[in-house]
Amino acid sequence: MRKWTGPTAGARAAVVAAVAAVLALAGCESPGTLHDAGPARQIAEHPSPQPLWPAAATSAPATPRAESDAPPPSPLPGLPAPAGGLVQLDARAVLLHDPALTDLEHRALSGDCTRCTVQPAQYRDLSGDGRPELITAVLTAEADGRAVLHVYGERDGKVVPVLAVGANAAFTADTVGRDLVLHEPDGPTARTSSTYRWNAVRMAFVDRQTVYTGPADGAAGCPTPEPTVPAARPTPTPTRPGGVVIGPDGRPLGRSAAPSPVPTLPTRQR
């Protein structure tokens, strides 16, 4: 019998050449070195909601009312925009020059309405021109459970109203990027969100969605389901060799039924 003595020198050389070719095709480098895989892909950033004011006191739900997109807004009379932008204006100063304010809003400004409040001015760039708009709201919760959200912009050195929308006095508002989102409670288990976006003239209505959160726990007519407990799996009865059943105390209880004997078939012989 011939004894195998391993691969020949030619075979070993062929293996080494094949491994080197594979490493070259795979772009492998020696251990500990860095490999440049090219520039990393940029990750798109999604804007997150930025609250304008804390949640207001709850009141009766109501359907929001938005002004029509026509005619184009007119500048507020007697109120020029400061050289430094609207960030230098106070909310009350701007509202007092707005001829479109309701009587209840004027009562709130004059202090003649109990529990009526004016939200402090917030400044966000909603038009994308680098100049922040002024956002405020007048809440007349005691009188009618309502509120009016106002947004003012700057155009040609003048202050222009670009949005006035009625809402529930319990509303909250966010700016998501350059979108203004108005949230209103719609009963105890739902919320309606309305989105407004700049359309080169004013903030225009874009979309409205109602999110249902389901029945409240413990509410009448909404029973709370009982927790389900999985059934215990039966424990096999221990037996001793010979078919004797063992009880909980370890004593034999009796003999189990013996399994039926399996008949043995005769082996055919040729």
Q: Say which residue, 35 or 82, is predicted with more confidence.
A: 82
> Could you read off the pLDDT of 5-22 as tens digits, one per residue?
555 666 565 555 554 554
Task: Return mean pLDDT, the chain.
Answer: 75
Q: Say which residue, 4 or 145, is predicted with more confidence.
A: 145
User: Which of 192, 228, 188 minimizes the C-alpha distance to 208?
Assistant: 192
> Does residue 98 carry a pLDDT above 70?
yes
Q: Say which residue, 24 or 171, is predicted with more confidence.
A: 171
How far is Cα 38 from Cα 58, in angstroms, rounded to an integer? Answer: 55
Q: What is the 3-state secondary structure (H, E, C) of 229-250?
A: CCCCCCCCCCEECCCEEECCCC
Please tell me which of 30-39, 157-166, 204-213, 241-250 the model is most confident about, judged by mean pLDDT. 157-166
Q: What is the mean pLDDT of residues 178-200?
A: 93
Question: How far are the Cα atoms of 101, 196, 267 from residue 181, in angstroms, in the given order?
Answer: 22, 6, 88
Q: Quote the pTM value.
A: 0.58
Please give the helix or strand (H or E) that residue 119 lies within, else none: none
At residue 84 the predicted structure's pLDDT band, cuts being 50, 70 and 90, is very high
pLDDT confidence of residue 132? 97
> Does residue 63 carry a pLDDT above 50?
no
Q: Which amino acid is at 16?
A: V
Q: What is the mean pLDDT of residues 73-99?
A: 96
> Could you read off the pLDDT of 200-215 as tens digits, one per residue?
999 999 999 998 876 6
